[in-house]
Amino acid sequence: MVEKILANLEKSNCATDSTFMQAVSEVLRSLTPTVESDSRYERYAILERLVTPDRVIQFKVQWVDDQNRVQINNGYRVQFNNSLGPYKGGLRFHPSVTLEMLKFLAYEQIFKNSLTGLPIGGAKGGSDFDPKGKSDFEIMNFCRAFMRELHQYIGARVDVPAGDIGVGLREIGFLFGEYRRITRNYEGALSGKPYAFGGSLMRPQATGYGVVYFAAEMLKEEIQESLEGQICSVSGAGNVALHTIEKLQHLGAKVITCSDSEGTIYDPEGIDMDLLKRIKGNERHLSLEHYIQKKDTAVYTKKEDYPHDGHTVWSYPCFAAFPCATQNELTLSDAARLIENGCIAVIEGANMPTTPNAIDLFHENGILFAPGKASNAGGVAVSEFEMSQNASMEKWDFDKVDHKLNAIMRQIYKRVALTAKENGKERNFVDGANIAAFKRIAEAMILEGI
């Protein structure tokens, strides 16, 4: 049945759908024994319905830059599935954004959101707008134009967008301001908002901190290890990477790498977080090359000098690796280098950063591999806490949110590990995550009827 669905899907999607097909194939292959064990899944066509988005919204975004030139970008929102709750998922602003990419991200989001156990469905959106090099006013003009089109499709109980690559506090602030002005409705129609108007404490930290909470629980339960004193490699230098590094350091780990789209930093003394934040924090997007100007023990490798088949960031010996930049950034040869250099665990901070053949190699070599839909779910979980605070007009303190985040990440790990074990796939957290997430969504889809 799974092979038939994949073949039909390949026929109906054009060849450029590769990341979407990659995500769907991985999930469907994990589910083969599960769907064969319960005839209701076939009777209700659950798999077929789960690979087709409910709705794809595409719009033109017209805005004016600082030179008074008219600019045009594509905007999208893919509302994939809302059986468990309002559509929920980030917005990505990056020149590489296409509808196919957002379909893959929205599809992954359905499963991630299901794993949290919270009442949220799956969606994703964004634009091919490039925020790099734009002034604050240009970012604001773009966000306002984007929301002029998007506002009619979202709402606190309908669809609640948040941040992703290129979209942080500043962008969500501008988007929310415009939503409120157009609709006159002061409701939590976006999450990841500035604290001043309804944002939750800890949302900026949530994804990265959650990744580390997941890692700590997995290491403790599986191999009775902690992160204290361990050497860790992190890729990326954005929201997820910075907070992953920060929490790893809180727990006593030594983080030796970070990267951006232009190069990699290796610092054998451990990343200097204050320095890194001065380069990359608070909407600053300076090149990581600035790091070695202040710290001469560090090494900077430009992208042009990476190994032809991979990324320099994965070539240093480490205990655990945390890919936190973007999809397919950890390849088969990167995986081989990590294993050769003694890495024993890989915990994804980004969405689908590891290629399928690299995941297979990790599994074959007994590496503990945590898929992003489980390990990076802390961001969307705290987004749901923000929705909850907005709905009840409450404000929770930092410790309360942190405590709830920690509990939810440990719970996700437990559910994923147990599901893997119960299905004869012990320590295969990819299958564990896909099966556990699927069962919850499928149950809701069956109960609500067609």
Q: Which residues sit at the interface with ligand NDP, rule CB under 6 A?
A: 96, 163-166, 207, 236-241, 260-262, 285, 324-326, 349-351, 376, 379
Catalytic-labelled residue, pool 88, 103, 124, 247: 124
**4 part of the active site:** no
Alpha carbon distance 203, 245 (integer Å):
16
CB of 379 to ligand 2IT, least distance (A): 4
Calpha distance 327→333 (Å, rounded): 16
Which range touches ligand 2IT (CB under 6 A), out of 285-293, 296-304, 319-327, 377-385?
377-385
**Comparing C-alpha atoms, which of 65, 60, 35 is closest to residue 445?**
35
Minimum separation from the CB atom of position 190 to ligand 2IT (A)? 9
Q: How many residues can be counted in the chain?
A: 450
DSSP string, 81-94: E-SSSSEEEEEEE-
- Among residues 141 and 327, whose Cβ is nearest to ligand 2IT? 327
88 binds, among ligand NDP, ligand 2IT, none (CB under 5 to 8 A by kind): ligand 2IT
- CB 255, min distance to ligand 2IT, A: 22
| Cβ 217 to ligand NDP shortest distance, Å | 18
Considering only residues 243 to 302 of the shown chain, the ones binding ligand 2IT according to CB under 6 A are none
The count of other CB atoms within 10 Å of the CB of residue 85 is: 18
Name the E strands within 296-426. Answer: 299-302, 320-322, 345-347, 368-370
* Measured distance CA(2)–CA(36) in Å, rounded: 10
Q: How far is the CB of 45 from ligand 2IT (least distance, A)?
A: 27
Binding mask 158-177 for ligand 2IT (x = CB under 6 A): ----x-x-------------
CA distance 204 to 168: 8
DSSP state of 233: E
**Residue 326's binding partner out of ligand 2IT, ligand NDP, none, with CB under 5 to 8 Å set by partner kind:** ligand NDP
E-strand stretches of 200-287 = 231-234, 254-259, 263-266
125 near ligand 2IT, judged by CB under 6 A = no
Question: 43: helix, coil or strand?
Answer: helix
The residues assigned a catalytic role are 124
